Amino acid sequence: MKVDGKHTRTIWVEADGKTVGTIDQTLLPHRYATIRLDTAGDVARAIKTMHVRGAPLIGAAAAYGMALAARQDASDAALERAYALLIATRPTAINLKWALDEMMASLRNRARDERMAAAYRRAAEIADEDVEINAAIGRHGLKLIEEIAAKKPGAPVNVLTHCNAGWLATVDWGTATSPIYQAHDKGVPVHVWVDETRPRNQGASLTAWELGQHGVKHTVIPDNTGGHLMQHRQVDIAIVGTDRVTAQGDVANKIGTYLKALAAKDNGVPFYVALPSPTIDFTVVDGVTEIPIEQRSADEVTTMTGRTADGRIESVRIVPDGSNVANYGFDVTPARLITGLITERGVIAATREALAQAFPERAA
Ligand code: MRU
């Protein structure tokens, strides 16, 4: 998608052909800056500190992390060390493990002197595949938006989304935002309710920024507003992303997604989840008991960071000293609350049968 009118992806190999560039997502929306990653350790730190985030981008970054590791030392032991370092960065997004396993599968049985080139090649393929997958998700999701638009001629389709499942969270297009961008580009009027998404504000800081860059109308709302809007028929469809989908169609996504799905069910609002197939984890079934939920630092809750009137970026404390804080990064929305899954192979039911039928090679 575009940054100041220039087509940009979220991850690339720099002109030196070795180091990897990415966008520093901790500075947005106040500053657009890129960072250069030189080692697998740099990539692991960038993922852990959320300079790089969003399930598909975490996967692509980890793949490049393996390529950077292979550049330094392509021995089995070094690759295994890099795998262990990268897999430990974040526990919920399964794209991380998927990408690392893909890299290992393409490197393990190769001669050592071929591994570095093969690693860069496979990482680039993983990034390119993500772009293609998300474009296909957009084409399928577009039909849902067009169906709604046909029933309210001239009026915008109101989409609610949570967190940032936009192009910043992927290599390009985004998952939940891909149908939105494609509708906008086709001239279908669309307006997005953007949940701010406490505590890290990925909605207010990232989704709002990228929709604004692309010229998509949007309104940022405090996280608890969605239910009220749904009761007053101001949400036509909810589309969110996901970090892991189980074999039976349960969905882990940013904390607060479950409450939106409950409100959507109560109000008859269609609730869709957009996902690339690497986000499906066929090894787990019951999302609530089986998906590991990341718990992050209390600082993310006790402080807020923003821009002061004179342009400085500052953090301020908003919780009394001494109060206990809990910071669960994700929750699980059971399949029964999901209207459909928007995948690269079409819109399917959130059921074990539909997932296995759409992705037989993965289900096996
Ligand atoms: O903690 P984050 O910012 O990595 O969480 C991101 C989300 O929850 C996204 O919705 C999810 O990764 C899907 S991104 C296409």
CB 301 within 8 A of CB 270: no
- Three-class secondary structure of residue 313 per DSSP: strand
Q: Is the pLDDT of residue 254 over 90?
A: yes
Q: Is the pLDDT of residue 198 over 90?
A: yes
Point out the ligand 1 atom lying closest to the alpha carbon of residue 275: 15
Q: Candidates 50, 243, 280: which one to mutate for ligand 1, based on the most atoms within 8 Å of Cβ?
A: 243
- Three-class secondary structure of residue 53 per DSSP: coil
Arithmetic mean of pLDDT, 263-267: 98
In angstroms, the Cα distances linking 70 to 47, 82, 98, 123, 132 are 19, 9, 18, 12, 26
Closest CA relative to residue 39, chosen from 71, 13, 10, 75 = 71
Q: The whole model's pTM is what?
A: 0.98
Residue 313: which pLDDT band, with cuts at 50, 70 and 90? very high
Arithmetic mean of pLDDT, 127-152: 98
141 Cβ closer than 6 Å to some ligand 1 atom: no
Q: Which residues are catalytic?
A: 243
Cα gap 240→30, rounded to integer Å: 24
Tokens matching residue 243: 């970090």
Would you state the pLDDT for residue 364? 87
253 Cβ closer than 6 Å to some ligand 1 atom: yes
Q: Ligand 1 centre from 320 Cα, in Å?
A: 29
- Three-class secondary structure of residue 280 per DSSP: strand
Cα gap 248→358, rounded to integer Å: 13
pLDDT per position as a tens digit, 163-197: 999 999 999 999 999 999 999 999 999 999 999 99
Q: Candidates 10, 160, 202, 332: which one to mutate for ligand 1, based on the most atoms within 8 Å of Cβ?
A: 202
pLDDT per position as a tens digit, 269-296: 999 999 999 999 999 999 999 999 999 9
Which stretches of 108-175 are DSSP H helices? 115-151
Q: Which amino acid is at 291?
A: I
Residue 324: which pLDDT band, with cuts at 50, 70 and 90? very high
Q: Ligand 1 centre from 56 Cα, in Å?
A: 8
Percent of the chain with pLDDT over 90: 99
In sequence order, the β-bridge partners of residue 36 are 21
pLDDT per position as a tens digit, 16-43: 999 999 999 999 999 999 999 999 999 9
169 Cβ closer than 6 Å to some ligand 1 atom: yes
Q: Ligand 1 centre from 135 Cα, in Å?
A: 18
Backbone angles phi, psi at 285, to 5 degrees: -115, -60
Q: Ligand 1 centre from 247 Cα, in Å?
A: 19
Tokens matching residue 13: 């190999």
Would you state the pLDDT for residue 91? 98
Point out the ligand 1 atom lying closest to the alpha carbon of residue 55: 12
Q: Is the pLDDT of residue 245 over 90?
A: yes
Closest protein CA for atom 15 of ligand 1: 165
Orientation angle between helical segments 95-107 and 76-87, nearest 10 degrees: 170
